[in-house]
Amino acid sequence: MSSPDLALNIRPTLPRRKDWRIGCAGAGFIIADCHLVAYRNAGFNPVAIASRNPATAHKVAARHAIPTVHETIDALLADPQIEILDVAVPPEQQPDLIRQAVELGKGRLRGILAQKPLALSVTDAKQLVTLCADAGIMLAVNQNMRFDQSVRAAKDILNRGWLGEVVLATIDMRAVPHWMPWAEGMESLSTFIMSIHHLDTFRYWLGTPDRVLASTRPDPRTKFPHRDGINLYILEYESGPRASSWDDVWAGPCKEGVAGDNGIKWRIEGTDGLMQGTIGWPKYPAREPSTLDFSTRQHPGMWFRPRWDDVWFPDAFVGTMAQLLVAVEDTREPEISGRDNIETVALCEAVFAAATQHRVTTVREFLI
């Protein structure tokens, strides 16, 4: 049964003021093709940009009509006009950049949107949260999968209680990511770059799990040395639910001539219903909307299939910036705050340790 008029909560709350002056630290793909496209569509106000490569910054500025290009990121961080800092630099560089932004932006900078992962360790993540809080700067994290329409609709259905008690949640990914050059040499590859999306989504849907079982093996296609490629993990909750994901970044020799069957499917089963969906991201740059189908005991034998035109890349990036701007306006924690994201970083650490040390881990041990 098709029911396109279902009033599910899939849209982000937008700020009252859209002209907050945004400075962009970084000019790579995620800024050029996702952040800035989404911001222009939403009517947000990026006013300055800088990159390690000034030529790239100039090119992106021209494409998106950004009036100010700084020759260095240091100059961007010191720009007196910037109220909101949008960070898009490699994970290992992000903590130091945020520390510098806080120092140079005291009394002026109102908010920082950090990339995921906020940091590569809970220790660094906690330090950044405390540093920003002490400076009166809102810190939010760009966990953009939370603003994919099917992921957000699933959360709304869970909040309404239509599935009853959750029994099992699964994500099955068969998709080949494009590893950026900065990924080479990181202690963790898949866990902190790819799996973090799914781990944070499980946290969004169900909360932080108590125990983790995990296994990993290198990805045959990725030539540089790495420990975690294909990730398999199970999350256990004392309250009952189990969650599991197969993050298959190999997906067979589909890049080497074999007919592939790539995609991402998810499913949540409850005592009163079930829902399942797909994530359209693997088809990017084609616009492939994610989907959601659900059935409940209240309507026996019926499938509800709401559909949307929005796609994760780039449309979800409206939500990640909007939740920070709304938090700044209302003087409250962002929806995806740095403080909340500490537990996503801890969950990543727990998965990586479980897989590489061959033991059951708890999230709690990494939060201490």
Rounded Cα distance between 325 and 18, Å, is 8
CATH of domain 21-144+318-333: 3.40.50.720
Q: How far apart are CA 264 and CA 169, in angstroms?
A: 14
Q: Give the separation between CA 256 and CA 247, rounded to whole angstroms.
A: 20
The identity of residue 1, as a single letter, is M
Strand ranges of the sheet holding 21-25, from the earlier edge strand across to the other edge = 68-69, 45-50, 21-25, 84-87, 111-115, 138-142
| Reported pTM | 0.96
Reading the block at residue 199, the tokens are 């781990």
- Per-residue pLDDT of 84-135, as tens digits, reads 999 999 999 999 999 999 999 999 999 999 999 999 999 999 999 999 999 9
Separation CA 148–CA 127 (nearest Å): 29
Q: 345, 358, 343, 321: which is closest to 114 by C-alpha?
A: 321
Spell out the long-range contacts of 97-104 with Cβ–Cβ below 8 A and sequence spacing 24 or more: 97/25, 97/73, 98/128, 98/131, 98/132, 98/139, 99/128, 99/131, 100/74, 101/25, 101/77, 102/131, 102/132, 102/135, 102/137, 104/77, 104/78
Residue 271: pLDDT over 80: yes
Q: What is the rounded CA–CA span in Å between residue 61 and residue 69?
A: 7
Instruction: Please give the structure tokens belonging to residue 5.
Output: 């008029």
pLDDT in tens, 121-174: 999 999 999 999 999 999 999 999 999 999 999 999 999 999 999 999 999 999
Separation of alpha carbons 18 and 43, rounded Å: 6
Q: What are 29-85's pLDDT values in tens digits?
A: 999 999 999 999 999 999 999 999 999 999 999 999 999 999 999 999 999 999 999
CB of 85 closer than 8 Å to CB of 23: yes
pLDDT digits (tens, 9 = 90+) for 352-365: 999 999 999 999 99
Q: Is the pLDDT of residue 1 over 80?
A: no
Q: Is the pLDDT of residue 4 over 70?
A: no
pLDDT-based confidence at 3, cuts 50/70/90? very low
Q: Give counts: helices (H), strands (E), the chain.
A: 12, 14
pLDDT, one tens digit per residue, over 306-346 is 999 999 999 999 999 999 999 999 999 999 999 999 999 99
Query: Domain 146-312+344-367 class?
Result: alpha beta
Pairing, β 138-142 against β 242-248 = unpaired
| Confidence band for 7, pLDDT divided at 50, 70 and 90 | confident
Alpha helices in 161-229 (DSSP H): 190, 196-206
> Are the C-beta atoms of 162 and 359 separated by less than 8 Å?
no
CATH 3.30.360.10 residue window(s) in the chain: 146-312+344-367
**Overall average pLDDT of the 211-227 stretch:** 97
Question: What type of residue is 277?
Answer: G
For 245-262, the pLDDT digits (tens) are 999 999 999 999 999 899
DSSP three-state, residue 40: helix
Q: Where in the chain is the domain with CATH 3.40.50.720?
A: 21-144+318-333
Q: Is 118 helix (H, G, I), strand (E, B) or coil?
A: coil
